[in-house]
Every structure is written in C-alpha cells, then in structure tokens.
A and B are shown apart, each in its own frame.
Chain A
C-alpha cells in the first residue's frame, strides 16, 4: 500500500525531469510585462510601536501618523527615479517589550521594508536598531529619547525628537531655576527611558545647587507607590521628579494627594498626555512635564495636521503622530533626492536632510540626532496641558553623552 504512491511519484518525476534539461518556454506573464512602461513599484514602510498594552494609545497614535503620511504620499502620485511609487504600511506591535521589539524588527526586515518608523520606547528602539543596522534598513524613531539609541555607531539610526540628555537637563534647569526647587526627590520606573531622563535630571539639578534627597525606583507595571511616597514625604522635598510613563504617573499623583504631599511634581514627555490627566484626576492639576518639540498647535504645520488627523481618525493627536508623519516624509524626501527607493542608495541622503515638516525644520547631526530640537515645558491647568515655556537646547550635547 505504501509503495504505490512512491512509484507514482517516481513516474511523475521521470516525466518531468527530461523537460528540465531543455530550454524552458518563457512563462506567458513575462511577455505581457515587457512591452509596458516601468510599472509602479511598491515600497513598504514599516511602523513599529506598542499597539496593545498600557502604552497602546501612544503607539496607535504613532501608527496613525505614519498611515496618514503614506496616504498623503500615495495621493500625491510621487515618482522616484522615473517610476511611480506606491507606498504600503506594514504596522507591527512591539508591545513595548524589548524582546518582542527584536522579533518585530526581524519580521519587518524579512518583509523587505525600505524604511522603519519606530519604535516608541527607548528600551525597544535600542535592541531593534542592531537588526535594522545589520540589514541596512534606515530607522527613524519618532519618540525614543534615550541618548544611547544614537550612540551605538549605527549608520541607520535617526530620531526626530530631542533626547534625554537635552530633555532631562532642561527639566532640571527649569526645576532649579523657574520653580526654585531646593529639595528634590527623583523616582524612575526602571526602564531605559525612565532611568535615562531621571539620571540626566538628577545631574543637572545637583549642578544647579538643589539637593537630591532620594532616588527611588518602581516598575512600569506597578500602581502602588504608597510606600515610596511615604518615605519621600518624610524627607520633605519641594519637588518630586518622575522618569516614566502616564499609567504610573497618574496613580502616583493621586496617592501623593492622599498622603498629603504638597511637593510639586514633574516628569518627561511620557506623562505629557491627555491620559495622564484622566488617570490623575484633580491631583494632576499643577503637574509640569516637558516634551520634545513645539506645542502641537504651535508647530509650523500643526493646525492643518491636527484637523486632518481628527477628520481621519475621529480622535485627538495623543503625542507623537506628527513625528511619525514627518519621519515618513523625511524618508520619501531622501528617496526623491537619491532617485531610488533602495535603502543602500537613499541612506546617505537621509543624513543630509533639510526638510520643513509638521514639527518644524528637520536636520540631523552626524549621530542621527535632531539638530536644535526644541523642548517645551507644560503645566496642567484646569484639566488641560498648557504650554509654559519653549527652550531650544542649541544642539549642544552634554559631556557624558560623548562616551
């Protein structure tokens, strides 16, 4: 019984094999293709951000920005190197998880994307950047602010935000200067982003003469900070700085209020979201946060972008959609100048970018960092983020960032 199919297979092979040696007749499809002018090429653009989990709202925001850019580019019938180009979005979910991020990066590389917008978290962007670099795929992170991201010596890593060595010190200077904080407590969420911004903040406030009373750590999954806050309460700080994301910061300010801590509270861009105000409730009032870039509505292309986004997704821009949008446009701009959609060909052009985007003028330094990225400090006022002050760090990297 087992034999029969084997013999059948042998027979079939015997029939096919002689055909292989001869010149095969040209497949019919080829004949149709040759007389046509160069057909439209499809260029895949990857988007990698957390689409599920506690940070999904921010990740989806980025993906929406990328999607909007791709739709706009397709509507503009762009030609690159004399061929019409159709862009296609490949969106992946990295779950804000460094391990998953590398899997997703490999998946995007295998799908032969020409460029990647992502990831959201520094902790995801850093391990993933090695994979993109090995594959020669250019990557622009719309939001990863940990300095290490562009310090690995990869030619493919870029970002369109100011980094923590700029954001942390800006916060620190603001805390010691305008807020006049003398006694400071620092908490981080034990992630690459949280620790990075908290370290930079700590160094600057210390240098500015404020006393750092405590450095505490929590995790990016916890919601109980009573014990840490009680300890901090005993040290009587006048300002608490948190390096982390809104799902922790919201409950944290609530618990500060419950414990009767009167200190001011500030954080980085991870808490500068509508979600923070929702989670923090009344306790969010008066909280300060910095964010790279200009206020949404003060961006050169802000108003038009916000309207377009609202019309398309029926939602407000959360945080980084404009950066995601611009990242795609910067890629396309470099492809146009190189006359090619091949990563190897347009990558050198990417470094020479001079692009006027939604977020303002975009140019990269030799590490791939945004030149002169402005940072704005906001405060929560009657349930809304209100811009306080915009600072341009002047693109001067701090001394320790060089190493």
Chain B
C-alpha cells in the first residue's frame, strides 16, 4: 500500500508538470485551433535558461531563494519574448491559411528551437546546480521531498490563478470571446491580435516555469528534452479535451499517475513480459483508448468543426 501511495505521489508531481505544459497547448488550440508543436521546445528553452542563470548566480554565492527567483524570472522573460515573437513571425501571417500550413510551420519552429538550443548550449546533458538541498518529508510510508511538494503546490497555485484569470478578468473574458468566435469578438471591440498574443504570452510564461520545474526535479537539462515533454503534455491536453483549460489540468495529472502506476506495476501484471520501459507505450495506449471511446476527451464538449 505504501508503494502504491508513493507511486501515486510520484505520478501527481510529474502530472502537475505535464498539466502546466498542457495548458499552453490547450489555450492556443482553444483560440486559434492550432496545435503549437513548438510549445514543448519553448519549455526546453525556459528550462535551459533557468539552468544557466542558476549556475551563474549560484557560483556567485547568492542566497538560494534569490537564485531560484531570478532564474525563474529570466526563464519567464526569455520564453515570453520567444513565444510572442514566434506567434508574430510564424503564425500570424498564416492565420487565414489552410489549417495544415500553420501546423507544419509549428513543427518547423520546433526543430528550429531544438537546434538553436543545441548551438547555444551544446548537445550534452547539463546539470542543474542543487541550489536547495531537498529535505525529505516522511508521511507514513510515503516519502516526498519538500521540492516535490513545492513543485506540486506551485503548479496547483498557477493553475488555480489561471482558471480564475480566464473566468473573471477582463482579458480572460476577451479570451473566451475570441475562443467562441474571433470575428464576432472583433466586431464587439475585442482586439483579437492582442488577445492572441496575450494567450501565447501566458502559455509561454507558464511553460517556462514548468521547464524550470523539470530541471529542478531531475537535475539535468538537454536540448532535446522538450520533445517528449511536449508530446506527453499534448497527450494530456487531448486526454482532458483539447481547448478546455480545466481538462488540460485533469489530463496532465491523470497521465502522470497512469504513467507512474504503469511503470510500477506493468512488470508484475504481465508476468515480466513487458518491463517498466514500456511505460510510454502504456501512456499512449490510454490516449488511444480515450480517443476511441470519447473522441472529444474527458471534459471536452462536442463542438462543431470550426475550421
């Protein structure tokens, strides 16, 4: 039972990171109908920026909370600038183009970001300095570190804030209006270009934090880390119902837990035929299952094709 709870905790922490990244996919999809495949790589840039800044500042001997705050700030600034410029340069000119064009552009941007990062940071694994030594919180037979708790709580707080923002603020209302119908929203005096740019800004900022969480959690960063992260987060977004913000959060947490439990128990369940290295296969099987039985995702509502 302890092991089960421990796997659940692992899965929830991992899932909260997936959920944060998934938000970036789902918000952009909700408004533009575009799957921004470069989002995982924006998170990677955020992660590596945070890593580099933390390395430099930790070497200067600044106090740990300040190092983390500045690293996060740098990551957010870089990613926001990147996200908004990508939207302006790569996606806005194609807004009225057939749907396939921006999709292919997104893949192109993703590759561009990966190899630019490889040029800047090199292709080796980089290590994140242990700014704060995680100390353990033991709770029954379950052990989690304060770092895990911090990641989970921060992720939940960010998701809560985002939900509130979209439901209650003026900009949030404009975002929802644009989501329902960009043309009508425009006629009602919503500056659609601003709203879209802001959506990218928000998604990139949250993605930067998620990227930083990954390097904090695992201690290593790599120019290719955004690919799998992005794919998993995209899966989470589809799982929850793409375009639905609350769904992305649910999907992320669910995917994290499924993965964790699969890795922990798949070997025993299949009598050792499939090992824990089939964890990813299992995660994607869940996705296929959901798509077959509930194509719009867990929380997605059926909307007409809005091409």
Contact = CB atoms under 8 A, between A and B. Distances in A.
A227 B260 contact: yes
A52 B224 CA distance: 12
Counting chain A CB atoms within 10 Å of each CB, the highest count among B7, B124, B272 belongs to B124
A239 B147 CA distance: 26
B220 A227 contact: no
Contacts of B85: none
Given A226-B10, A251-B218, A260-B138, A52 B277 contact: no
A279 B220 contact: yes
Contacts of A190: 277
**A contacts with B: majority SS:** helix
A281 interface: yes
Contacts of A278: 127
Nearest to B13: A226
B143 interface: yes
A226 B260 contact: yes
B263 A228 contact: yes
Contact of B259 (A219, A227, A282): A227
B264 interface: yes
Contacts, number: 102
Interface in B263-303: 263-265, 267, 272, 275-277, 279
Interface string B126-142: 01001001101010000
B199 interface: no
A217 interface: yes
A84 interface: no
Given A52-B123, A190-B277, A260 B219 contact: no
A227 B279 contact: yes
B14 interface: yes
Interface in A6-36: none
Nearest to B274: A217
Interface stretch (A53-61, A103-111, A354-362, A385-393): A53-61
Nearest to B228: A221
Contact of B275 (A53, A216, A221, A223): A216
Interface string A261-293: 000000000000001001101100000000000
A99 interface: no
Interface string A158-201: 00000000000000000000000000000000100000000000
Nearest to B147: A258
Contact of B143 (A54, A259, A281): A259
Interface residues of A, number: 35
Given A54-B222, A227-B279, A230-B264, A279 B145 contact: no
Contacts of B275: 215-217
B276 A223 contact: no
B2 interface: yes
A5 interface: no
A230 B264 CA distance: 7
A247 interface: yes
Contact of A233 (B6, B123, B136, B222): B6
A255 to B, nearest CB: 8
B148 A258 contact: yes
A227 B282 CA distance: 14
A282 B133 CA distance: 9
A258 B261 CA distance: 18
Contacts of B218: 223-224, 251, 254-255
A260 B148 CA distance: 13
Contact of B123 (A56, A226, A231, A234): A56
Contacts of A340: none
B139 to A, nearest CB: 12
B125 interface: yes
Interface string A214-254: 11111101011011101101100000000000010011001
B3 A234 contact: yes
A217 B220 contact: no
B260 A254 contact: no
Contacts of B276: 216-218, 227-228, 231
Contact of B6 (A214, A215, A259, A281): A259
A227 B264 contact: yes
A280 B62 CA distance: 22
Interface string B1-42: 011001100110010000000000000000000000000000
Contacts of A219: 277
Interface in B141-159: 143, 145, 147-148
Contacts of B225: 223
12 contacts: A56-B123, A217-B275, A221-B228, A223-B222, A230-B10, A230-B264, A233-B3, A247-B125, A247-B220, A251-B220, A275-B124, A275-B125
Interface of B: 2-3, 6-7, 10-11, 14, 122-125, 127, 130, 133-134, 136, 138, 143, 145, 147-148, 218-220, 222, 224-225, 228, 259-265, 267, 272, 275-277, 279
Interface of A: 52-54, 56-57, 190, 214-219, 221, 223-224, 226-228, 230-231, 233-234, 247, 250-251, 254-255, 258-260, 275, 278-279, 281-282
Q: Which 3 A-B pairs have the closest CB atoms?
A: A227-B263, A234-B3, A217-B275
Given A190-B277, A224-B218, 5 more contacts: A223-B220, A227-B11, A227-B259, A255-B218, A282-B130
